[in-house]
Amino acid sequence: MGSINNKRIFTPYHHSPCTRTHQIGALLLVTATFILTRLFDQTLSPCYSSLLDHDRSSPENLLRISDSGGSLSWPQRGYGSQLSLKIYIYDENEIDGLKSLLYGRDGTISADSCVKGQWGTQVKIHRLLLQSRFRTRKKEEADLFFVPAYVKCVRMMGGLNDKEINQTYVKVLSQMPYFRCSGGRDHIFVFPSGAGAHLFRSWARYINRSIILTPEGDRTDKRGTSAFNTWKDIIIPGNVDDGMTKHGPTLVQPLPLSKRKYLANYLGRAQGKAGRLRLIELANQYPDKLESPDLKFKGSEKLGRMDYFQHLRNAKFCLAPRGESSWTLRFYESFFVECVPVILSDEAEFPFQNVIDYTQISIKLPSTHIGPQLLDYLASIPDEDIERMIAHGRQIRCLWVYAPESEPCSAMQGILWELQRKVRQFHLSAETFWLHNGSIVNRDLVEFTNWKLPLPLP
């Protein structure tokens, strides 16, 4: 019954002969459909399009550095034509408790002992801001406020335990009226390790709106709460040994590709991490391709700085797997021995992504691909492609160097540009209010200038 009805519906119409006009019309329809589809795809998939064609990035939106690694030209898009901001740095004697966050409960830990090693950025950023032309000594005119603390170093050296760090931070914050006024939105904290802001156990309650400078983008606590927020926080470079970043002869010089003994290397401890253990096993299977020596980082057999970088420079590719957290200092170190970094840490984040195309200077592969296929892939890459990536990396590595503002390209220059994007004309807080005359008041309608310490914290 249904077939009869269907037949009656569709059979009354007779097909007209296919003329040349019909053929031309069909061809035009196909062509128009193809063009519109291409335009539609490009509109919906800018990320995919950019992956296919790196040259489509507008030059106005990218960082420009001269061939000598000298003059730095930051894009105007979203940044402005020049750096223009004022930062107030809290003095160690200004607030009770701040000295403990810098030098420990007994004040016996020196800043010089904290400036070296993986977490030295906490000291370097503080020192560079103290000398910065963007520093202001007037709180009322500051765009941003910097809270100095060397808590990672202090904790590692036994100067404060976790409970003391937490209590001291809360004590310090209760003495900062401007922190209370903005809800912490204009205050800057540096947490330079994989633990990130979790070194301050109560970070989620007190500084969850503040600007956090950290090399770590994915670190979470046992409750699965990340201390990094892509909207307000800034990824910073790790602290590469000064002997490798200085002008002139460095601690170790790069080797020509033809003189490098290994295809790749991994220089680090296993730390019980699956990816690192697989790399060490792979090195045992292919010792002529992958170097992963049993390095000693303490004791009488501790590897010296020069020995470490001599190992690092002896391969075309430097493998950077995940450790206790996703970031790795080895990524930054590899640029100074001109070894192409291969990122094997899926959640890793990197600095200045608004202006650096990391596909031009590094390789990122899934951590699950650690195996013989990894070495096969790396071996298939022509030397001319490796040289091209090294050349690009040579151009931007000045952004990994914590140098004074007199240097036209440095990590601090990049951080200052990123901080400029965080400056707000107005700061809204759930604990601050304002009147018809513009006065800022608290819940008791007390004007800001009359607030008394210590301040109640949320």
Question: What tokens were used for 208?
Answer: 């969850």
Distance CA 91, CA 110 (A): 16
Residue that wins the pLDDT comparison between 187 and 409? 187
Give me the helix-helix angle, 372-379 and 274-285, nearest 10°.
Answer: 70
Q: What is the mean pLDDT of residues 42-65?
A: 43
- Give percent of the chain above pLDDT 90: 63
Amino acid at 62: L
Amino acid at 57: S
**Alpha-carbon dihedral sign for residues 150, 89, 227, 331:** negative
Taking CA 373 as the corner, what is the angle to CA 370 and CA 376, rounded to the nearest 5 degrees? 125
20-34, 266-280, 359-373: which has the highest mean pLDDT? 359-373
Q: Which residue carries 């977490």 as its tokens?
A: 119
Instruction: Assess contact for 144 and 423: CB atoms under 8 A.
Output: yes
Q: Which of helix, strand or coil describes residue 266?
A: coil
Q: What pLDDT, on the 0 to 100 scale, is given for residue 221?
A: 56
In tens, the pLDDT along 20-41 reads: 665 566 555 555 555 544 444 4
Q: What phi, psi does 176 have (nearest 5°)?
A: -120, 95
Distance CA 92, CA 164 (A): 17
Q: What phi, psi does 145 have (nearest 5°)?
A: -125, 130
Q: Which domains can be identified in the chain, with CATH numbers?
A: 87-239+423-432 (no CATH), 243-401 (3.40.50.2000)
Q: Is the pLDDT of residue 18 over 90?
A: no
In tens, the pLDDT along 190-202 reads: 999 888 899 999 9
